[in-house]
Amino acid sequence: MKKKIKILFLGNSLTYVNFLPLAVKKFFRKAGIDAETVMITQGGKCLDWHLTHRDTEFNVKYGGYDYVVLQGKATGFDPDSFVDAGTKIINDMIKPAGSVPVLYLAWSLRGESEKQPVMTGAYKKLSDATGALLAPAGEVWQRALRLRPAPDIYMPDGNHPTPAGTYLCAATIFYTVTGRRTALPVSERGGIFEEYGLDAATARKINALALSESARFPV
C-alpha cells in the first residue's frame, strides 16, 4: 500500500460526529501511512442527496482521491434508494475518477438490532454489484454490544456514536482499506484509544472484532 493516500468521506452526522475522518487518519498514521482525509456531510441525508450535490460530484471527479467512503443514514433507511444512488455514484463518479469505493456500513438504532440485517444486506448488495470494499462497522457494532462489559458506543439519542463508537468505526474502515490480517498493537498507555475514552483491554477487543468482521466481507 502507498505511504501517502487521500480519502474522501461522503455521509451525514454518523461521519461528522466526533470527526470520524480524523480518527481514521490516526489509525493510518500508527501504521506508518500518511492519510489526508476530507469529508462532505449533511445531517440526516443519504446517498441520494450526494448524488445530486455539486460539491460531491466535483470533489469525487477532480479531487484525486485514492478512496471514497460512502455512508447511508440509519433513521428511515431505504435499502432500494441507497443501492440505486450508491450504484450511480460509484459507476458514474468514483470509478471514472480512478478511486476505490468503500462502503461504511452503519448500525441500527438502539433497541432495533433486528433491523441490522436489512441494512447489512443493502450494503452487501451494493458491494457485490459494484466491487466496492465493505467496511462492516454495523456488524462490529452489534458484536461489541455483546462484550462484557460492553463499551459505551451509543450516545443518549440511541443513534449517534460516542467517541468509543467512532473509534470502532475508524478501526473497521482502517482494516478494510488496508486488508491487514493482524491487528495493530495496542499498548497499555499512550494509544489512540485513550483519546476516545477506552481502556487498553477494550480497545484490543474492538480491534479484534473489526479485524475479523472485515475479513468476513472480502470483495
The pLDDT of residue 83 is above 90: yes
Find the mean pLDDT for residues 132-161. Answer: 97
DSSP state of 74: S
Domain that residue 56 falls in: 4-216
* pLDDT single digits (tens) 155-208: 999 999 999 999 999 999 999 999 999 999 998 887 899 999 999 999 999 999
Give dist(CA 82, CA 163) in Å, integer.
Answer: 26
Name 200's bridge partners: none
Give dist(CA 136, CA 120) in Å, integer.
Answer: 8
* pLDDT single digits (tens) 22-62: 999 999 999 999 999 999 999 999 999 999 999 999 999 99
Query: What is the pTM (predicted TM-score) of this model?
Result: 0.97
Instruction: Output the pLDDT for position 189.
Output: 81
**HSE-CB for 36 with a 13 A CA cutoff:** 8
157 alpha-carbon distance from chain centroid? 20
50 alpha-carbon distance from chain centroid? 16
Give dist(CA 80, CA 108) in Å, integer.
Answer: 17
Number of domains in the chain: 1
Integer-rounded Cα Rg, in Å, for the chain is: 16
- CATH number of the domain at 18, please: 3.40.50.1110
> Quick one: pLDDT band at residue 126, thresholds 50, 70, 90?
very high
